[in-house]
Amino acid sequence: MKKLLSFSITLSCALTGLAQENIYPVPKQQDTVTIQRVTVHVGNGRVLQQADVTFGSGKIISIDTSGIVVIGENSKAKRMIDGSGKHLYPGLILSNSNLGLVEVPSVRASSDAQEIGENNASVHALVAYNTDSKVINTLRPNGILLAHVVPQGGWISGNSSVVQLDAWNWEDAAYKTDNGIFITMPPMIARPRGVRPAAPGATPEVDPVKQGLEQVEGMKTFFRSAKAYAAAHEESNLGFESVQGLFNKTKKLYVRANTVRQMLVALDFVREFGFDLVIVGGADSWQIADILAQNKVGVILNQMHSLPTLEDDDVDQPYKTPAQLQKAGVLFAINDEDGQTRGRNLPFNAGTAAAYGLSKEQALSAVTLNAARLLGIDDRTGSIEVGKDANLVLCTGDILDMRSNIVTSAIIQGRVVPLVNKQTQLYDRYKSKYGLP
């Protein structure tokens, strides 16, 4: 038994071993760099041909096209990168993720995304973010440079934060700390129990609609108390203090909701408290797109490569939803929540949306500028504009197409970061073993 226990511990350590000892975070940018003669996809729908993009001290300094400075002022660069025939994109943003909180989903010891209890408003996901996760480095070769790390569990899950994917520790990784509060809307759907009658003396089934509405009222009561707490209080309450940013709109309220009923209930939080609301999931958001647009509610579409919610929906409904939201004027972002790909398919999800009604640049915005707006970081990133952080991806082809998405350089705040990860290391290891070129 002791040997078996020892083997289990050793195996868990091997599975959750997090260090990649020869992959280091890159120091702050020192030399000014210019990427020359590159096609620039700004992220806001514009495309600049044969442009020179210069960045220094982590910021974009100038964008020149056809030899004329059209944005910003030119500066002499100490390093040049030839972008001829290549495409430059803003760094992609994973807008809802457990990255760095969960390493191996099937190994409980490697998961730190969920707290027990119903109200975890004082929880901060950022402090649990593990920068040594092997998963993080696998995202950068696909152009994903920023991620929204969110807590799970309970009605009120806690504070989410945005991180950049090249850091020594969570303090270095923090891009925007505690930018929002996550809550989970109860399903409020009575599911069929089948034809088998209840056993004699069995506890009667709880009405899920009634139970869900009670949970919603409990959350509203908490927010009412938090609002009153801001006006006058004698004793400190960490939960109430954590949500104060919702009232002055320095934080957003992110609500996990997929059905129309859930989303309509979530809109009550806007009407009563005036919160900046973002729906996370939004599988059926296309059905109430006009209502969401009228209330200026954003949507993060969690997983496009999935089946529709209802049996009588079009089988390709998840692919068409982004175009329908775009037409209605809803601000939306595309995400990749698949537990198998762990976020790596983000650009290809956007590519699917481009095949079902969105233009290529609109699809790009859904994983760059739109995502930045929904996360409250669009003043710093999300598009290639002077004054914003130099979060850039240089690619030989279309970043939304898995056949031509070959990232040659990934740049985070002006730092050219390595595209090496555990998978590429194993690839090189066995190429060497079998003498392959």
> For residue range 228-268, what is the model confidence (pLDDT) as tens digits?
998 887 788 999 999 999 999 999 999 999 999 999 999 99
In a domain, 35, yes or no: no
**165-182 pLDDT, tens digit each:** 999 999 999 999 999 999
In a domain, 270, yes or no: yes
CB neighbours of residue 31 within 10 Å: 9
In a domain, 290, yes or no: yes
In a domain, 124, yes or no: yes
Residue 307 has a pLDDT of 86
Residue 112 has pLDDT above 90, yes or no: no
Mean pLDDT of 349-372: 96
Among residues 63, 58, 57, 21, the alpha carbon closest in space to that of 41 is found at: 63
Length of the chain: 437
Residue 47 has a pLDDT of 95
What pLDDT band is residue 198 in, cutting at 50, 70 and 90?
A: low
Residue 176 has a pLDDT of 97
Angle between helices 260-273 and 208-231 (to 10 degrees): 20
In a domain, 122, yes or no: yes
The identity of residue 140, as a single letter, is: R
Give phi and psi for 246, each to the nearest 5. Answer: -65, -35
Question: Could you tell me the CA-to-CA distances from 240 to 225, 233, 237, 243, 334 in Å, in that order?
Answer: 8, 10, 5, 6, 31
Q: In the block, which residue shows the tokens 């647009």?
A: 293
CATH number of the domain bearing residue 368: 3.20.20.140
Residue 16 has a pLDDT of 40
Question: Could you tell me the CA-to-CA distances from 391 to 45, 60, 111, 296, 413 in Å, in that order?
Answer: 17, 9, 29, 28, 5
Prediction pTM value: 0.89
Residue 200 has a pLDDT of 64
Domain that holds residue 116: 92-188+206-381
Residue 183 has pLDDT above 70, yes or no: yes
Residue 110 has a pLDDT of 84
> What does DSSP say about strands 68-72 and 59-65: parallel, antiparallel, or unpaired?
antiparallel
Mean pLDDT of 376-398: 96
Residue burial 118-130, b: 16+ Cβ < 10 Å; e: rest: ebbbbbbbbebbb
In a domain, 298, yes or no: yes
Query: How many domains does the chain fold into?
Result: 1
Query: For the ranges 11-20, 201-210, 368-377, which has the lowest average pLDDT?
Result: 11-20
Task: Tell me how far apart the alpha carbons of residues 129 and 150 are, in angstroms, rounded to a whole number.
Answer: 10
